Amino acid sequence: MKRLILTVSLTLSFLVQAHPVHMDLEMSSEEYRELLQKISSTQKSLSADQPSIAQALKIGDRLSKWIALVNANRSPQNAIRLTSPETRRGIPIDKPNVYSPKTIETETRAALAELPGHIKGILLNSENLPLSLGMDDATFIKHARRIDRNYQSAARYKTIDQYRAEYIRAANKDVRGIYYLQTNKITADQLTDTDMIPAQQLGHIKEALVQMCVNGTGKLSRCKKEIQKAASKNKLDEIYNRYIKAGQATWHNFFKIPPYARRHDLKWNGQIATVPFNTPKIEKFIPYLKTNIEEEFQWKGWGLKIIFGNYPNGPLLIFRPGVVPYVNGLGGNEIVMDSNQPIEEYESQWTIRHEFGHVIGLPDCYHEFYDVQNDVYVNYQLDTTDLMCSRAGNMNERIYLELKNAYQ
């Protein structure tokens, strides 16, 4: 019996560690703060923070409290805001976000070094916070955003590092290799004589081929040896031809609606597609859903319409406090949103549009993994203009054509 209990306990422990919480790449600091509080209350076995992580979190928390105190004495129109639709830029695939305790420590030092003296003093001590900023809003926001971004990196590291093994495996889906080759229009024909390629460019090409090989085999060390051997024999064109399909397939899987996620209740009729939706019990959520979803999902005369009613297997809106918004699987029926976030805020309005995309089968087109060679986490969005990739993105022709292909 004791052995059975131990086995069950170990199995449950493994399951807890094997499934990272779903988080998009541009969560706000408030979303991270709520998530950390929830994790701390439910997972008592979390290891202690590394000093660099603890420091970045402490400074970020104090900054947040200071801003909240200042805003309590201001009108909503004049409140200090560190994020807005205008400040969203996304995380481009060719400029990924890279973070670790070491990079976070370096950024903390750099950010503190640039802070005006009185702000630095306020953030580093534990005395009562002032009711004013002591400088103009624009200058304060410039410095505060840097501190806040570093807080987000620390919060993300604290949240996901317990699942490092999962993120190491996710490196197999790193598509920067196929992106580099296609963006720079590199073909197999160009690789038949690598002596004609400048050394720096050839280095980038070899790195891209390694990543594409990993897409196909999942074996980093093997791929590095294979590309090195091929390069020595001037046969990189063979490597290109061997793995190009694996790279392309991995890329397309970030955008393609899989057959199992296609909804049987979405009806496509000419320039209109209709989707049933269970009528929310609270009336204000009806225009919230209809306005945001119908406003977003339209393209050159085509539009998606919600039909409210009572549907046993239809989409349903659920609110829970402190939750990271999610849908229960591609093509799922439950959109779970954070009840602590006002629906009037931009973050909530973008989120409901994005999460509804999952309801009709659209996958996330961003990626995060652990780079074992450089001992860092890496994340990026495949297309920062795309609704399913970035909070800076919107409905576009790509999404329309994917929906048309799946449902027409």
Q: Strands 366-371 and 334-338: what pairing? A: unpaired
Over residues 370-392, mean pLDDT: 96
Provide the token pair at 65.
């409290």
- 85 closest CA partner among 374, 343, 390, 290: 390
- Whether residues 41 and 127 share a domain: the answer is yes
pLDDT over 80 at 350, yes or no: yes
126-180: pLDDT as tens digits: 889 999 999 999 999 999 999 999 999 999 999 999 999 999 999 999 999 999 9
Query: Same structural domain for residues 40 and 143?
Result: yes
Quick one: tokens of 390? 């970035």
CA 264, CA 105: separation in Å to the nearest integer?
Answer: 50
Q: Is 105 part of any domain?
A: yes
Q: Same domain for 249 and 353?
A: no
Which pLDDT does position 15 carry in this prediction? 39
29 and 131 housed in the same domain: yes
Residue 340 belongs to what domain range?
259-362
CA angle 372/378/380 to nearest 5° reads 150
Residues 277 and 243 placed together within one structural domain of the fold? no
**Rounded Cα distance, 26 and 387, in Å:** 12
Question: Does residue 393 lie within any of the structural domains?
Answer: no
pLDDT score of 12: 38
Domain boundary among 227, 253, 279: 253
Q: Tell me, yes or no, whether 400 lies in a domain.
A: no
pLDDT at 102: 97
Q: Answer yes or no: is 84 within a domain.
A: yes
Answer yes or no: do 277 and 340 share one domain: yes
Q: Domain ends where: 201, 233, 253?
A: 253
Task: Based on the fold, state whether residues 244 and 303 are members of the same structural domain.
Answer: no
pLDDT, position 44: 56
Q: What is the pLDDT of residue 300?
A: 96
Same domain, 267 and 356: yes
Q: Does residue 248 lie within any of the structural domains?
A: yes
Confidence of residue 340 (pLDDT cuts 50, 70, 90): confident
* Predicted local distance difference test score (pLDDT) of residue 342: 86
Torsion, Cα of 12, 14, 16, 18 (10° steps) = -150
- Quote the pLDDT of residue 385: 95
pLDDT of residue 216: 97
Do residues 285 and 330 share a domain? yes
CATH of the domain at 347: 3.40.390.10
Q: How confident is the model at residue 37 (pLDDT cuts 50, 70, 90)?
A: confident
pLDDT at 393: 94
**What would the mean pLDDT of 241-252 be, rounded to a whole number?**
98
Taking the C-alpha atoms of residue 348 and residue 324, their distance in angstroms, rounded to an integer, is 11
In this predicted model, what pLDDT tens digit does every residue of 39-63 receive, in sequence order? 877 765 556 789 999 999 999 999 9
Considering the domain architecture, whether residues 235 and 324 belong to the same structural domain is answered as: no
Structure tokens at 67: 């801003």
The answer to whether residue 211 scores a pLDDT higher than 90 is yes
Q: Is the pLDDT at 6 greater than 70, yes or no?
A: no
Residues 33 and 136 in one domain: yes
pLDDT at residue 240 above 80?
yes
Q: For 98-145, what is the HEC assignment?
A: EECHHHHHHHHHHHHHHCCHHHHHHHHCCCCCCCCCCCCHHHHHHHHH
Portion of the chain with pLDDT greater than 90, in percent: 80
**Number of structural domains found in the chain:** 3
- What does the pLDDT read at residue 43? 64
pTM, to two decimals: 0.90
Q: Residues 110-121: what's their mean pLDDT?
A: 94
Lowest mean pLDDT among 82-86, 242-246, 266-270, 402-406: 82-86
Asked, for residue 402, whether it belongs to a domain, the answer is no
* 32 & 151 share domain: yes
Residue 392 covered by a domain: no
Q: Please say whether the beta carbons of 208 and 178 come within 8 A.
A: yes
Among residues 253, 283, 305, the one where a domain terminates is 253
Average pLDDT value over all residues in the chain: 91
The answer to whether residue 2 is domain-embedded is no
The yes-or-no verdict on residue 278 having pLDDT over 60 is: yes
Beta carbons within 8 Å of 366's beta carbon, 6+ residues apart: 24, 25, 91, 254, 379, 380, 381, 382, 389, 390
